[in-house]
Structure 1
Amino acid sequence: MLSRDGEAVVRQHIPRKRFGQNFLNSPGVIRKIVAAIAPRPGDLMVEIGPGLAAMTEPLLEALGHLHVVEIDRDLIAGLRQRFTPEQLTIHEGDALVFDFGAMGADLRVVGNLPYNISTPLLFHLATFADQVRDMHFMLQKEVVDRMVAEPGGGEFGRLSVMLQYRFHMERLFIVPPGAFTPAPKVDSAIVRLIPKAAGELEPCDGEVFARVVTAAFSQRRKMLRNTLRELIDEAALVALGIAPTARAETLGVSDYVRITRALSAD
């Protein structure tokens, strides 16, 4: 039960733009998200940005114990009034710098991610993929569409390549603005990320791979012979079966891996 003090926190809390706060308020959507996550007793799970505990409570009912990462001290006060330490372990701080690796193996990560930091947060979380079982996030639909996009379209970009290299991803369903308070101006979507097994990963130098992908997409309208000229020459691209006149969005993840391997072999 929520105490009077806890109710006051919920009632009085004003969503803060600097934290990108949009709170879920639709019981039907919450049930659908929790069903997609399918929490089980004993799962090691961390929720990023629990906010007013819309998902926290039903997750706890299934799990028994949950970790959360929250930056807003007012919201943390409400969580402490509402849940016991045996139910909820609260990690106060910024998810962008939080060490998810310290939590242990077979970690499940969930959350309604702030739109204003979604891309850097996804890249940060990807660094812990070896210890993660799965991740389920609510994100701006446009971001999810970019994550799962196929090569050749305008939505396919750096985010697509970097995440598709490391994860299997699936857009599950769309969430309308009316499911939030305050209502955002755009649709949201739920996405599932499952880390690829070691045998599925194409070996390559991660730092070089990131540098290649970043350079290729730095100027989308330019050909690879221009965007990658500081890294690899046209003859080397041709030798890899990649047209120097191609643009970044036309290459698949495997193409970027081949470029990376060629550079690492030099």
Structure 2
Amino acid sequence: MHRARRRFGQNFLHDRMIIQQMIIALSPRAGESFLEVGPGQGALTRPLLDHGVRLTAIEIDRDLAAGLRRHPAAQAGQFQVIEDDALTRPLAPLIDQAYQALRIVGNLPYNLSTPLLFHLTAPPAGIRDLHVLLQREVVDRMAAVPGSRTYGRLSVMMQARCQVEPLFDVHPGAFAPPPRVTSRFVRLIPHRARPLGDVDDDCLGRVVAQAFAQRRKTLRNALRGLLDAAAIEAADIDPATRAEQVDLAGYGRLARIVERQDSAD
């Protein structure tokens, strides 16, 4: 029996009804290309392989990776296990190897969920969808609308990249060991045409991070050193506005001004 390792944020899914719900939501078809992040003991791996998908799994725990490699599908060339950190593993080669647009699935460790989300949604093309299990509060923030208490940096950055569809909650008892929080399964569908067009992702990230760093401040104060009041007004935004009141399009306009400023320097 493998003991969950805290340093890897391991909570192993074992509830068969929840696993079945996830498979129904995924609706996998034979021949599709999947990437599973953090397969653990294979709770989702096995039913995915039973559906005939071509599966690559990234597992950081060498003991779990060794166990997964013993699956007969690995010997048949249907299943590849990569022992690595998904946070640093380049996705482009995996996208290039996929027979079809790559589908990503995973039970993401809660302590690394935000950087993993940014990493997994960064490729501009080649990802069909992502289905990930996260802390419920993280999904709430991803799907939040302007003006709400949960609307923030994660909301803007994820919605700039993907359509966010919360699916269903997963109770702590579905895992071993059980986490202290409720989880939520969410579907992310990368935009075919990004809502902000060709806005530079780094510029957008800088604006959003600084705006929400001290969300009680007005943008005039929060963006000091990055954009002055005149530049904020040029984006058709009142400098007295606070970060949570600005919608996605507004952040896109601010990012474009930062991009122009950078080009002029």
Q: TM-score range by the shorter chain?
A: over 0.9
Residue 137 (structure 1) shift: 0.2
- 1:82 Cα offset (Å): 3.1
Name the structure 1 match of 2:86.
95
Pairing 1:1-266 to 2, within 5 Å after superposition: 12-83=1-72, 84-85=74-75, 86-104=77-95, 106-198=101-193, 200-266=195-261
2-side partners of 1:114 and 1:128: how far apart?
Answer: 21
SS in 1 for 2:114: helix
3-state SS of 1:238 partner: helix
User: 1: CA distance between counterparts of 2:105 and 2:147?
Assistant: 30
- Secondary structure at the aligned position of 2:213 is classed as coil
Instruction: List alignment gaps of at least 5 residues for structure 2.
Output: none
CA distance in 2, matches of 1:199, 1:189: 25
In structure 2, distance between residues paired with 1:177 and 1:228: 40
Query: What is the TM-score with the length of structure 2 in the denominator?
Result: 0.92
- 1:245 maps to amino acid: A
Percent identity between the two aligned chains: 49
Does the aligned pair in 2 maintain the 1:177–1:183 contact within 8 Å?
yes
Mapped to 2, the partners of 1:82 and 1:149 lie a distance apart of: 40
Q: Please tell me whether the aligned partners of residues 34 and 53 of structure 2 are also in contact (alpha carbons under 8 angstroms).
A: no
CA apart distance, 1:199: 6.2
Structure 1 spans left out of the alignment, 5+ residues: 1-11
Structural RMSD (CA) = 1.3
The amino acid that maps onto 1:126 is: T
1:46-87 alpha-carbon deviations (Å, 9 max, x no partner): 100111111101000113431100000110121122333323
Secondary structure in 2 aligned to 1:111? Answer: strand
Aligned residue pair count = 255
